[in-house]
Amino acid sequence: MVNKIVISTNIHQAVSEAVGAIEYDRLFLLTDETTDRLCRPLIAEIPCMKHAQSIVIGATDTHKNLDTLASVWTALSTGGGSRHSLMVNLGGGMVTDLGGFAASTFKRGIPYINIPTTLLSMVDASVGGKTGINFNGLKNEIGVFRTPETVIIDTEFLRTLDHENICSGYAEMLKHGLISSRSQSSPLRGELEGGISTLLTFDLDHIDYPLLGQMVGESVAVKEKIVEEDPQEHGIRKALNLGHTVGHAFESWALTRKPVLHGYAVAWGLICELYLSVIKTGFPTETMRQVVRFIKENYGTLPITCDDYPELYELMTHDKKNADGIINFTLLGGIGDIRINQTATQEEIYETLDFFREG
């Protein structure tokens, strides 16, 4: 279940080797309208990619739906795709999630390669074998676990990103820094004066790309280690859900109003779930406040009111981690001190939303 992850400094060589390692009859390249324009040129001249059949879908998460999925299946079918075909997904998390699901279900599953082009997809969506689409107003409601043959991470693509998408991906890096072990010898080793300090002092307005590239590699290693231990999320992989129970509710709430990027919703979810960690599992208040300060300075806030609490609570009840209708959280006792399968009362969740608005 563990991805083969290639941290690339030569995208032509990495793609050639990954595609060349697979026997296939037809090659398909999935992009969205944005990555087709900005990122496809970086791989278009690779000999193996010159013969790829192009499938282009609409950009943004609003297209991560059943209609788009069906259009990809149709393109694979009319393009002569078989059980021996190969698909390359070039794009952000929407493309790798939907493309991975399309590949996993077409002809009962064809191999696929992910080439993430956003920071979010590099450190989160493309790694770990989760695929899926949004359905019935809920994030990633339909999907399967199926790992790509290879994930090729090349931070050169990050220079095509706007500020908001850099911030979106960085939220997942913050999460990885919060859950990583204190004993890990890396810039994300989880000590406030070390790894978290680095993350909380990084200047998102003036990107140091070489440093960001190093941090991406370390962040991916955190997720890779957890996925290797628990590929199907029966236990410790739930650590990766820190910030996501509330974050997914924020994201689903925003879908019917003004959609927000996934990482922004996760960042706001981190505020709420670190506050819950303070009141439920003893997370240090000052550490929580430092993280909250960084998030509010870089991500702003979501304009919820107390009138939205019942809807947000209802959305949380649909979270895939829940059992028997009980809302399930991943919380922290401290940096790297992971507490999975935590619960909270409706009153405590409303108190958390109060803190988000006013804290």
Q: How many folded domains does the chain comprise? A: 2
Q: How far is CA 142 from CA 137, 285, 293, 319, in A?
A: 11, 37, 35, 12
168 and 314 both lie in a single domain: yes
Q: What is the pTM of this model?
A: 0.82
Mean pLDDT of 180-193: 47
* CB-facing half-sphere around the CA of 230: CA atoms within 13 A: 11
84 and 26 both lie in a single domain: yes
The residues annotated with a catalytic role in the active site are: 108, 130, 172, 223, 233, 237, 241, 244, 248, 262
Give all strands (DSSP E) within the chain, no chain letters: 5-7, 27-32, 53-57, 86-91, 112-116, 133-135, 138-142, 150-153, 328-334, 337-343
Q: Is the pLDDT of residue 282 over 80?
A: yes
152 and 178 both lie in a single domain: no
Q: Residue 88 sits in a domain of what CATH number?
A: 3.40.50.1970
182 and 35 both lie in a single domain: no
46 within 8 A of 20, measured Cβ to Cβ: no
**Domain residue limits at 82:** 5-160
Instruction: Label residue 186 by pLDDT band (50, 70, 90).
Output: very low
Provide the pLDDT for residue 3. Answer: 62
Q: Is the pLDDT of residue 63 over 50?
A: yes
Mean pLDDT of 42-71: 95
Q: Is the pLDDT of residue 252 over 80?
A: yes
Mean pLDDT of 77-104: 96
10 and 153 both lie in a single domain: yes
Q: Is the pLDDT of residue 183 over 50?
A: no
Q: Is the pLDDT of residue 189 over 60?
A: no
169 and 145 both lie in a single domain: no
Instruction: Label residue 226 by pLDDT band (50, 70, 90).
Output: confident
Q: Is the pLDDT of residue 198 over 90?
A: no
Q: Is the pLDDT of residue 192 over 80?
A: no
Q: Is the pLDDT of residue 277 over 70?
A: yes
Q: Residue 313 sits in a domain of what CATH number?
A: 1.20.1090.10
Q: What is the pLDDT of residues 18-28, one digit of tens each?
A: 999 999 999 99
Provide the pLDDT for residue 191. Answer: 43
Closest by CA to 303, choosing from 351, 261, 352, 258, is: 258
27 within 8 A of 92, measured Cβ to Cβ: no
Q: What is the pLDDT of residues 114-172, one digit of tens each?
A: 999 999 999 987 777 889 999 998 888 999 999 999 999 998 899 889 999 999 999 99
Lowest mean pLDDT among 63-72, 90-99, 229-238: 229-238
